[in-house]
């Protein structure tokens, strides 16, 4: 998914043929949701939201955190910790402050303009927590 998002970002700035998701995407998605229901004990709809939240966080890290793109080891660890936290198999991962910051900022939806400052601050807190995690490894 990270690669597909990168390709989409390149396409949106430079044009050309629109990148396509892999043919197996539907099966991958269905299997990920099924696995989430098994691991986290979530009903299917909640599992869909959880899988989407993990993908959203990782693709956002790829866009906004230079270390995520530049350091394969940190990227692999961030992915592993996000999966462990998101499936509840390892809720006490070292990146827990960043995971909690992600949860907080996702709970703030731009339903009214009064929340925009809080949303921006929550997004800054999330990225700062991940950057702190990355520099202490």
| Total Cβ atoms within 10 A of residue 126 | 24
Which of 9, 92, 99 has the alpha carbon at shortest distance from 54?
99
DSSP state string for 2-33? HHHHHHHHHHHHH-SSPP---TTHHHHHHHHH
Evaluate whether 95 touches 89 at the Cβ level (below 8 Å).
Answer: no
Asked if pLDDT for residue 5 goes beyond 80, the answer is: no
pTM for this structure?
A: 0.72
Q: What is the pLDDT of residue 13?
A: 72
């Amino acid at each position: 998914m990270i690669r597909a998002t990168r390709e989409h970002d390149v396409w949106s700035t430079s044009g050309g043929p629109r990148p396509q998701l892999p043919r197996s995407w539907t099966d991958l998605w269905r299997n990920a949701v099924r696995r989430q229901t098994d691991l986290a004990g979530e009903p299917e709809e909640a599992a869909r939201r959880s899988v989407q939240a993990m993908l959203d966080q990782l693709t956002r890290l790829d866009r906004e955190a230079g270390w995520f793109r530049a350091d394969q080891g940190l990227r692999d660890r961030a992915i592993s910790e996000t999966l462990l936290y998101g499936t509840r198999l390892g809720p006490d991962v070292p990146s827990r402050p960043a995971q909690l910051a992600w949860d907080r900022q996702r709970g703030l939806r731009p339903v009214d303009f009064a929340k925009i400052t809080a949303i921006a601050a929550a997004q800054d807190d999330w990225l700062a927590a991940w950057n702190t995690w990355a520099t202490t490894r």
